Amino acid sequence: MLLGNHYIDGQWRGSTHGGRREIHNPFDGSVIAVVAEGGREDAEAAIGAARHAFDQGGWPQTPAVERARLLFRLADLIERDSEELARLESLDTGKTVEESRWDMSDIMGIFRYFAGLADKDGGETIASPNPNSTSRVVREPVGVCGQISPWNYPLLQASWKMAPALAAGCCIVMKPSEITPLTTLKVTELAEEAGFPPGVVNTVLGSGPEVGAPLSESDDVDLISFTGGIETGKAIMRSAAGNVKKVALELGGKNPNIIFDDADLDLAVDHALNGVFFHAGQICSAGARILVQDKLHDRFVAALKARMERIVVGNGFDEKTQMGPLISAAHRAKVEEYVAIAVAEGANLVLGGKRPDDPALADGYFYLPTLFTDCGNHMRIVREEVFGPVITVERFTDEAEAVWRANDTIYGLSAGFWTRDPDRMERVSAALRFGTVWVNDFNVYFVQAPWGGYKQSGLGRELGKIGLEEYTEVKHIYRNH
- Residues assigned a catalytic role: 250
Residue 458, interface with ligand NAD (CB under 6 A)? Answer: yes
Residue 284, interface with ligand NAD (CB under 6 A)? Answer: yes
404-443 mask for ligand NAD (x: CB under 6 A)?
---------x------------------------------
Residue 235, interface with ligand NAD (CB under 6 A)? Answer: yes
Residue 38, interface with ligand NAD (CB under 6 A)? Answer: no
Which of 93, 188, 216, 409 is in the footprint of ligand NAD by CB under 6 A? 216
| Pairwise CA distance, residues 354 & 154, whole Å | 27
Strand partners, 472: 141
Which of 54, 151, 196, 260 is in the footprint of ligand NAD by CB under 6 A? 151
**Encoded amino acid at 259, one letter:** I
Would you say 282 or 419 has its CB closer to ligand NAD?
A: 282
User: What are the Cα distances from residue 318, in Å, to 14, 95, 98, 389?
Assistant: 35, 11, 10, 19
| Pairwise CA distance, residues 321 & 319, whole Å | 6
Would you say 39 or 169 has its CB closer to ligand NAD?
A: 39
Residue 459, interface with ligand NAD (CB under 6 A)? Answer: no
Residue 23, interface with ligand NAD (CB under 6 A)? Answer: no
| Pairwise CA distance, residues 161 & 195, whole Å | 19
Which of 148, 191, 201, 240 is in the footprint of ligand NAD by CB under 6 A? 148
Which of 62, 128, 134, 207 is in the footprint of ligand NAD by CB under 6 A? 207
Residue 208, interface with ligand NAD (CB under 6 A)? Answer: yes
Q: Tell me which residues in 53-82 interact with ligand NAD (CB under 6 A).
A: none
Residue 464, interface with ligand NAD (CB under 6 A)? Answer: no
> Where are the strands (E) in 325-389, listed by range?
348-351, 370-373
Q: How many CB atoms lie within 10 A of CB 241?
A: 11
> Is the distance from CB of 9 to CB of 49 less than 8 angstroms?
yes
Residues 6+ apart with CB under 8 A from 122: none
Cβ at position 415, least distance to ligand NAD in Å:
14
Residue 92, interface with ligand NAD (CB under 6 A)? Answer: no
Reported as half-sphere exposure (CB side, CA atoms, 13 A), residue 363 has a value of 9
| Pairwise CA distance, residues 400 & 477, whole Å | 50
308-347 mask for ligand NAD (x: CB under 6 A)?
----------------------------------------
> Is the distance from CB of 436 to CB of 285 less than 8 angstroms?
yes
The 8 Å CB, 24+ separation contacts for 83-87 are 84/186, 85/155, 85/183, 85/186, 85/187, 87/317
Q: Tell me which residues in 177-196 interact with ligand NAD (CB under 6 A).
A: 177-178
> Is the distance from CB of 399 to CB of 365 less than 8 angstroms?
no
| Pairwise CA distance, residues 136 & 271, whole Å | 48
Cβ at position 319, least distance to ligand NAD in Å:
26
Cβ at position 84, least distance to ligand NAD in Å:
23
Cβ at position 426, least distance to ligand NAD in Å:
26
Cβ at position 327, least distance to ligand NAD in Å:
8
Residue 4, interface with ligand NAD (CB under 6 A)? Answer: no
Q: What are phi and psi of 221, to 5 degrees?
A: -100, 130
Q: Tell me which residues in 246-275 interact with ligand NAD (CB under 6 A).
A: 250-253
Cβ at position 267, least distance to ligand NAD in Å:
25
| Pairwise CA distance, residues 429 & 434, whole Å | 9
Q: Which residues bind ligand NAD (CB under 6 A)?
A: 148-153, 157, 175, 177-178, 207-209, 212-213, 216, 227-229, 232, 235-236, 250-253, 284, 385, 387, 413, 453, 458
